[in-house]
Structure 1
């Protein structure tokens, strides 16, 4: 494992052993170190490079997180070190924040059975389950059935009940502390404001992709495709993608990007997927990683490149 003692690219405060721990981020220290780095402002970059981080949050990454992804701590360490090593080449960093409240369609609170029991995490609910009364929605029955049927038509996912995670205002919603320091360092060093995308707070739908909900909600201001962000993304020369989990939110985000630019191969050719900076959800009966890798390979045939954090930026 690389350390701040052996790599001059890392600021003195960075400790790789702390990446997997929850602590008070040293934001002021990171900012001061970034300002002293005296990098050229990112506005002057001739080659514009974006790093897009999907849900790099405590609940998905740290071992104590409620939906911790195996391998995510090491993914995050590699991501942090990639940021420090390529600080002068990264123009912008954008990160999504999965943000949930108590009553959402994928939480136990939304559903009940005839015994008055709520579903346990990782229960799946089908349209047939709703129609035969196995599970009844506590809220908005008409939409709930419509939603599950739309998921089944799409063929990507079925509704799964998740443990409570990234709840607004909790530590689990926060960016991993060591990564938040790296983002602050880059921001101060390059005079570059980070971009934050809040997603997942629409009660009636899941929001795996950071760019659109699983089922569109026309009555909600965030209920459609985020075309303004996608159009902005296309203005960069290169777009690197990392985050959690590869099998779900990262993969869904890539689907949104690839589909939106399906008639613009020159934009897809700008995409770089950091394969060693993301991991899949593990399930005893479903090989999510194999499914994700197969789809990523298909995307690579459309022009997206699969790279690692050790590859040069190009």
Structure 2
């Protein structure tokens, strides 16, 4: 049952959650429906929400994930909020990730310059050949302020090569997004409200996970950065081992968020890898405990420019072949009784 305060028409808007009112509503809802505390759960169910932030989910924000419908992330979050409310008594813990950035990072325009001091355009890509030729180089005015001492030319080549070797997308220059302290960094208000209510009704703190704040690497996956060392082996990022172990501790793990083609796909792929590495003899059995909410995630689509729908679908088909279950929030009574 979805509570009366939820308004699907405001999911695509930015607004302040009325915490005091919702706290009272949560108490009444818990008592009315006799919902027990999460610590009493016989079956522990985790809900991983990947980057359900304004920057990706609100129209006219920096990197709105429109999908092919043009309303992708908004419609996804309408269904997601309804799913959370319908299953308040079953979801043990909600784990939202937050893409967390500053202006001077390797995937933002100001990090790179050409010979005449120009920055690459947002939504462009820097090919390995261009970087090796020196067409684009790391802005020398940034280098002295980086948290790690690097040879800028060597690191630029190393970073682009690593992405190529890992068969990732080429180095993408994104519009400034997910800026720490900004409105875009925040969870979508309707989702934040649902998480707040869940935490009170179930007495289960929402576990927020920050990712993507190191200036020298992208962090599509919440489980590890794309590049973890400098050319000489200095560590700039590591696997989020604590989170990996926590996710694998649930009896069921449900995954939703944005974007299906990028941060969701790469997080799930890394989770598949971890399952295989840690439990090679039980990989398929453990993978079957992972449920991908197909109707609560969308691919990056920019009309006339890029459409990652097919790569996203191919990735999800790959995950299903490994044992993970593709499900719909609308038919949750079939797989989450």
| TM, length-normalised to structure 1 | 0.94
3-state SS, counterpart of residue 16 of structure 2: coil
Task: Determine whether 1:293 maps to 2:294.
Answer: no
Task: Determine whether 1:53 maps to 2:49.
Answer: yes
Provide the C-alpha distance between the structure 2 equivalents of 1:114 and 1:167, rounded to a whole number of angstroms: 28
Provide the C-alpha distance between the structure 1 equivalents of 2:284 and 2:214, rounded to a whole number of angstroms: 32
Please list the CA deviations of residues 237-273 of structure 1 after superposition, one character each: whole Å capped at 9, or x if unmatched.
Answer: 1111000000000000001100100123222110000
List structure 1 runs of 4+ shifted beyond 4 angstroms: 218-221
Cα distance change, pair 148–120 in 1 and its aligned pair in 2 (3 A):
same
Alignment of 1:137-176 (within 5 A): 137-138=138-139, 139=143, 140-176=152-188
Counterpart of 1:183 in structure 2 is: 195
Task: Determine whether 1:124 maps to 2:125.
Answer: yes
The equivalent position to 1:237 in structure 2, one of 246, 251, 276, is: 251
Q: What's the offset of the Cα at 1:285?
A: 4.9
Q: What's the offset of the Cα at 1:212?
A: 0.6
Counterpart of 2:63 in structure 1 is: 67
Provide the C-alpha distance between the structure 1 equivalents of 2:287 and 2:55, rounded to a whole number of angstroms: 30
Counterpart of 2:4 in structure 1 is: 12
Task: Determine whether 1:33 maps to 2:19.
Answer: no
Task: Determine whether 1:227 maps to 2:241.
Answer: yes
Provide the C-alpha distance between the structure 1 equivalents of 2:21 and 2:318, rounded to a whole number of angstroms: 43
Counterpart of 1:268 in structure 2 is: 287
Cα distance change, pair 219–31 in 1 and its aligned pair in 2 (3 A):
farther
Q: What's the offset of the Cα at 1:220?
A: 5.6
Contact 1:211/1:225 (8 A) holds in 2: yes
Q: What's the offset of the Cα at 1:177?
A: 0.6
Task: Determine whether 1:303 maps to 2:323.
Answer: yes
Contact 2:137/2:156 (8 A) holds in 1: no
The equivalent position to 1:279 in structure 2, one of 275, 298, 311, is: 298
Contact 2:287/2:322 (8 A) holds in 1: yes
Name which of structure 1's ranges 112-121 and 167-176 shifts more when overlaid on structure 2: 112-121
Provide the C-alpha distance between the structure 2 equivalents of 1:219 and 1:130, rounded to a whole number of angstroms: 21
Provide the C-alpha distance between the structure 2 equivalents of 1:33 and 1:81, rounded to a whole number of angstroms: 16
Contact 1:11/1:33 (8 A) holds in 2: no
RMSD: 1.4
Provide the C-alpha distance between the structure 2 equivalents of 1:132 and 1:236, rounded to a whole number of angstroms: 48
Contact 1:95/1:195 (8 A) holds in 2: yes
The equivalent position to 2:39 in structure 1, one of 43, 50, 70, is: 43
Aligned residues: 305
Structure 2: 5+ residue stretches without partners = 67-71, 144-151
Structure 1: 5+ residue stretches without partners = 1-8
Provide the C-alpha distance between the structure 1 equivalents of 2:272 and 2:196, rounded to a whole number of angstroms: 29
Alignment of 1:203-222 (within 5 A): 203-217=215-229
